[in-house]
Structure formats: structure tokens, C-alpha cells
Amino acid sequence: SIPVAIVAGIGRGAKDGILIKGGEFLETSARISAVALDKTGTLTEGRPHLTDVSVLDPAHSRAEVLGWAARAEAGSEHPLARPLIEAADAEGLAIAGLPEHTEPVPGKGVVATVEGRRVAVGNLPLLADEGIAEDRGAAEEVARLAGLGRTPMAIALDGEVIGVVAVADRLRTDASEMIARLHARGVKKVVILTGDDERVARAVAAEVGVDEVRAQLLPEDKLDAVRALQAEGHTVAMVGDGVNDAPALATADIGVAMGAAGTGVAIETADIALMKDDLLKLPEAVGLARRTVRVMH
């Protein structure tokens, strides 16, 4: 039978918006020694806003670059899609309906068919996947914007780069405090695992005080990073919003989904779901687990 302390601990968590999906997860949480954090949508608000539209092909206007990007993203659920659609909307660019076809490319971007044209929106590896020859102008503009801590996305129309747009996301106000409290509760290693650009990731890492940062990861690289921490002997919690974190969340000893920001899939597959969009619930969950287990021994 399940020890009374565990039942009580799960009950206390639930009352506090910490949904623990079983007694074994509460016991494992007491041993968490490493925490891996997704960046976009987890450490940041996940509500980035448009900062730049750079035209790289003089045959196209600023409105066209933003317009094609927004139309291509109209069928996308990625957090980077919304600021492009909202900005296009605010600038009065008509976006009539969904693309004929949308294909998300995890960790890279999206490829869509819009009015019979092939539009790719994403990072430089996506352009390479599209068979587009290295574009010096695009690479330089991407590097410049990333150096400013923004997230750049190149736009290709029928295999030609026409421009780069960039968005910037705000750190959650409680991100640094959460990491400090995890360390205070004895978590030895806090790492950021992100698909985003190295420079953007470093800027965020420096600001919040994590021990390690791994950038430009594909979903399977996040999984490998979790396995590597486990191989070092760590009990690993992974916190993600589910957009590209599903394999890592499943592999971690404890998969944690964030409430309001998380996708339905993440909440369902997580071992612990934090029902409020409050990062401090994570150190609170670790504290609850440690106290509960202590009472049992």
C-alpha cells in the first residue's frame, strides 16, 4: 500500500498547483540532482515580439518579407509564429486563411505552401535542408541579430532568400530566483537545453545563472543531453513546454510540464505538471518531495 506520507504529500502538492502523477514520482523528486530547462516558453515568457524585418532581396519590400513569413506561419503552433502573425496584422497586411500545406521542421522552422509558392521560415540549417546555397547576406544578418540576443529567422520564397525577421522574448521575472532556489535546495547542476541559437542561449544563461548551456539542439539532442546527465549519475528533472521536448521529457527521471504555457501533450505525458505559470513551483515541488521522504525515514 502507498505510505500515508506520500498520499499526504501528493495532496499538499495538488492544493498548491503541483500535480504529481504518482507516489513513485514524489519519491524520485526527492533525489533530483540535475535540472534541465527548455528556454523558449519555459525560462522566457514564450510571447516574443517582432523586433526586425531585414530585406535581403531588393525585388521585395519589407511588407512582402513580413507578409510571406506571417502567411507561412499561419498554420504553425510554434511560439515564434504568433509574433509574426500579430505584427503583420498590426501593419495591416492581409493574411487570408491557412496555407495550403504546412510542415513544421522541429528545431529548424516551418515550410509551407502559400498561394502555390514554397515558403520556408527558420534558421540557417533549415535553408540548407531546403537545398539553398549558403547565402552570405543572410548568414551575416542572422549573426548580427543573434548577437543582440534576438531570434532571427530567414525567409525563403521558392528557394531564394528574400529577408530575415527577428523576434525577442522576455525572460520570466522569476527565472533567476527559481534557479537560485534550486541550487539552495541542493540541486547540483542546472542546465539550459535549447534549440535556439548559441548566442541567444548564452545571453539568457548569463542572466539567470545556470551552470551549463547547450544550444542549437534538435529534439533528439535534448534527449541525448538528458541521458548524458544520467550517465554522470544524476537524477534528472527536465522542464519543457512540449513543443520539441517530448522525447527529453519522457527520458528524464522526472518530466515536468508548465501549466498555462505548456501544450496539452506535455501536461498529459509529464510526471509532474505545474498548473500555474509560476516557475517557483519547481523548487517548491523539490522541497515538498524532500520533506515528504524525510518524514518516511
Positions touching ligand ADP (CB under 6 A) are 38-41, 73, 76, 78, 80-81, 107-110, 121-123, 151, 153, 194-196, 243-244
Q: 29 or 244, CB closer to ligand ADP?
A: 244
Residues 175-234 that bind Mg ion (CB under 5 A): none
For residues 248 and 143, give the distance between their C-alpha atoms in angstroms, rounded to a whole number: 28
Q: 41 or 48, CB closer to Mg ion?
A: 41
Choose the contact partner of 82 out of ligand ADP, Mg ion, none; CB within 5 to 8 A by kind.
none
To ligand ADP, the closest distance from the beta carbon of 19 in angstroms equals 22
Q: 30 or 238, CB closer to ligand ADP?
A: 238
Q: Give yes or no for residue 292 binding Mg ion (CB under 5 A).
A: no
Other Cβ atoms less than 10 A from the Cβ of 78: the count is 18
Q: 73 or 278, CB closer to ligand ADP?
A: 73
To ligand ADP, the closest distance from the beta carbon of 172 in angstroms equals 14
First to last CA, the chain: 16
Q: Describe the strand order of the beta sheet including 189-193 as a list of residue ranges.
A: 18-20, 272-274, 254-258, 236-240, 34-38, 189-193, 212-214
For residues 240 and 44, give the distance between their C-alpha atoms in angstroms, rounded to a whole number: 11
- Nearest to 199, CA basis, from 124, 98, 295, 265: 124
Q: 41 or 255, CB closer to Mg ion?
A: 41
To Mg ion, the closest distance from the beta carbon of 224 in angstroms equals 17
Residue number with the smallest Cβ distance to ligand ADP: 195
To ligand ADP, the closest distance from the beta carbon of 296 in angstroms equals 37
Residues 261-290 that bind Mg ion (CB under 5 A): none
CB-based burial label for 208 (10 Å; 0-12, 13-18, 19+):
buried
Q: 194 or 235, CB closer to Mg ion?
A: 194
Angle of helix 198-208 relative to helix 136-147, nearest 10 degrees, comes to: 0
Q: Give yes or no for residue 40 binding Mg ion (CB under 5 A).
A: yes
Q: What size, in residues, is the chain?
A: 297
For residues 30 and 36, give the distance between their C-alpha atoms in angstroms, rounded to a whole number: 16
Give start and end residues of each alpha helix (H) in 16-154: 23-29, 62-73, 81-90, 124-129, 136-147
To ligand ADP, the closest distance from the beta carbon of 191 in angstroms equals 13
Catalytic residue of the set 16, 38, 211, 224? 38
**Could you say which DSSP state residue 171 is in?**
B
Choose the contact partner of 235 out of ligand ADP, Mg ion, none; CB within 5 to 8 A by kind.
none
**Does 38 participate in catalysis according to the annotation?**
yes
Q: Give yes or no for residue 243 binding Mg ion (CB under 5 A).
A: yes
Q: Which helix (H) or strand (E) holds 260?
A: none
* Cell triple for 231: 550517465
Q: Give yes or no for residue 135 binding Mg ion (CB under 5 A).
A: no
Among 41, 83, 109, 283, binds Mg ion (CB under 5 A): 41
Choose the contact partner of 102 out of Mg ion, ligand ADP, none; CB within 5 to 8 A by kind.
none
Backbone angles phi, psi at 262, to 5 degrees: -70, 155
Catalytic residues: 38
Q: Which residues bind Mg ion (CB under 5 A)?
A: 38, 40-41, 241, 243
